[in-house]
Amino acid sequence: MQTFSLRPAAEVDAATIKRLIHQVGINPLGLYWQNFILAVDEQGRMIGCGQIKKHFDGSHELASIAVTPNWRGRGVAKAIIQDLMSRQNSLLYLTCRSGLVPFYQKFGFEPAEYKELPPYFRRIYHLKGLFERLRLMPAEGIAILVKRGA
């Protein structure tokens, strides 16, 4: 059985991170390699990534969780998420496809109430509503979740 390890990203990883994010079809904005943790296989190849984004309003977001298709279901995303969460002891938000809510609930995330959202996520909430009305949102929709501090 192949194993993997986690390491902080380096500048040389920036292009590989962007390729994986585009490959899995998630938000390609705010990909700053300095924020990323990578999962790498025994040969040192990146098989997954994730980051904590810091927004202008002071909020933090678990973001860019991506795993190559052939490594899915082997605990890679779980390891990345747990590592990132261990570095964050305040409120942590995330946006995800609605179908992924049960996955993130296993890590203590729960649907966020509008009244508790910081400005960045209030904008996301309003854009989500606009996209839904214009039918530009995938049928599954998106959710905004929060994990309260440790």
Residue 94 belongs to a domain with what CATH number? 3.40.630.30
Token pair recorded at residue 86:
């261990």
Side chain identity at 50, as an amino acid letter?
G
Range of the domain at 99: 4-147
pLDDT tens-digit map of 114-137 = 999 999 899 888 876 666 666 555
Q: What is the pLDDT of residue 101?
A: 95
- Residues linked to residue 58 through DSSP beta bridges, in sequence order: none
Q: What is the pLDDT of residue 95?
A: 92
For 61, 97, 127, 141, the CA distances from 136, given in Å and listed in that order, are 23, 14, 10, 10
- Mean pLDDT on 81-103: 92
- Mean pLDDT on 61-90: 94
% of the chain surpassing 70 pLDDT: 89
Q: What is the pLDDT of residue 137?
A: 55
Q: Encode 30-66: b = buried (16+ Cβ within 10 Å), e = exposed.
A: ebebebbbbbbbeeeebbbbbbbbeeeeebbbbbbbb
Number of domains in the chain: 1
Q: What is the pLDDT of residue 1?
A: 57
% of the chain surpassing 90 pLDDT: 71
User: Does the model's pTM come out above 0.75?
Assistant: yes
